[in-house]
Amino acid sequence: MRLYSQKEEIKLANRTYEVMYIIDPETEVDKITTLNETIGQLIEKEGGTIVRMDDIGRRNLAYPIKKKKEGYYVLFEVDGSGQEILELERRMRVNDAIMRYITVRVDEDRKKAEKIQAKREKRTSQRAKFRQTEGTAETAAEASV
Amino acid sequence: MAENDFEAPREREMAGGDEPYNDKMPRRFQRRRPRQVIPDYVDWRDVDYLRQFIPERGKIMPRRISMISAKDQRRIATAIKRARSMALLPFVWE
């Protein structure tokens, strides 16, 4: 077993994941709702928090999976340490109703995007300032001529 | 006069060096699109956006045609691959 340093523990604590899975469309509606509820409870039990739960519903698949042309899509957005994802993936792998699942870690990319946006805003504001000063200088020069 | 000084060496190059060099130059691709602005965060679930990087056959559009930066191409390629694995996008179009 690996011991984490304090710094790494802090890093582990706040991660954001997107979990999407496809349920077999032939399962009954009651079973689908109970499955979603159990998964939500599992996440909260393991120490994660659900940011968003999106029931996308039936959708045509781009290619057949297990000879089925439709699938029931569900999306979770989870904040947590990663432990709940480990347990969740184990459960989803075993469950027969779930045809496919994917988990994507999104917090790093989102942070990067925010950084880029902040930089861009700063640059544009600086440019605007520079332009203003240039304009005033020109008018001053014209006035002197 | 200053402008002429700048133009003179370029003309010399055109006359002497350019023509034999032209055979070895790789062929330039005709299909060029203007550089697109890629959003800072490429969402892998946004199928309608990703579709513009997928020509008829279902393959990922090469960078030399879409003319996006290498960084953006990597981001878009991973997004497309994720969408494919969840059957949001096809691997091949028939």
- The domain spanning residue A44 has which CATH number? 3.30.70.60
> On the CB side of A117, how many CA atoms lie within 13 Å of its CA?
10
Residues 6+ apart with CB under 8 A from A85: A17, A19, A48, A78, A103
Q: Which among A104, A106, A108 is the top mutation candidate for probing chain B, defined by the most B β-carbons within 10 Å of its own β-carbon?
A: A104
CB contact under 8 A, B87 and A63: yes
Q: What domain range includes position A86?
A: 11-105
pLDDT-flagged residues of chain A (< 70)? 1-13, 140, 144-145
For B24-48, write each residue's pLDDT tens digit.
Answer: 555 555 555 666 778 888 888 888 8
In-domain check, residue A119: no
In-domain check, residue A140: no
Q: Which among B41, B51, B91, B94 is the top mutation candidate for probing chain A, defined by the most A β-carbons within 10 Å of its own β-carbon?
A: B41
CB contact under 8 A, B40 and A71: no
The domains found in chain B, sorted by start residue, are: 2-85 (4.10.640.10)
Is residue B13 over pLDDT 50? no
In-domain check, residue A131: no
Taking the C-alpha atoms of residue A95 and residue A74, their distance in angstroms, rounded to an integer, is: 15
Sheet with A49-65: strands ordered across: A49-65, A68-80, A15-23, A98-105
**Distance (Å) from the alpha carbon of B75 to chain A's nearest alpha carbon:** 10
Residue B16 CA, chain-centre distance (Å), reads 32
What's chain A's average pLDDT? 84
- Within a 10 A sphere around the Cβ of B2, how many other Cβ atoms? 5
Taking the C-alpha atoms of residue A1 and residue A10, their distance in angstroms, rounded to an integer, is: 18
Nearest to B40, CA basis, from A17, A125, A119, A19: A119
In-domain check, residue A60: yes
Taking the C-alpha atoms of residue A105 and residue A109, their distance in angstroms, rounded to an integer, is: 8
In-domain check, residue A136: no
**Distance (Å) from the alpha carbon of B90 to chain A's nearest alpha carbon:** 5
The answer, for B84 touching chain A at a CB cutoff of 8 Å, is: yes
Q: What is the pLDDT of residue A3?
A: 62
Taking the C-alpha atoms of residue A34 and residue A97, their distance in angstroms, rounded to an integer, is: 12
Taking the C-alpha atoms of residue A107 and residue A14, their distance in angstroms, rounded to an integer, is: 9
In-domain check, residue A48: yes
For B45-81, write each residue's pLDDT tens digit.
Answer: 888 888 888 888 888 988 888 888 888 899 999 999 9
CB contact under 8 A, B45 and A20: yes
In-domain check, residue A31: yes
| Cα B26–Cα B28–Cα B29 angle in degrees, nearest 5 | 130
Higher pLDDT, B9 or B53: B53
Strands A49-65 and A68-80: antiparallel
Q: Please count the structural domains in chain A.
A: 1
The answer, for A134 touching chain B at a CB cutoff of 8 Å, is: no
The answer, for B87 touching chain A at a CB cutoff of 8 Å, is: yes
Tokens of A34: 């109970």
Taking the C-alpha atoms of residue A91 and residue A103, their distance in angstroms, rounded to an integer, is: 13
In-domain check, residue A116: no
Position B11 confidence tier, pLDDT thresholds 50, 70, 90: very low
Q: What is the pLDDT of residue A53?
A: 87
The answer, for B85 touching chain A at a CB cutoff of 8 Å, is: yes
Chain A contact set for B44 (CB, 8 A): 104
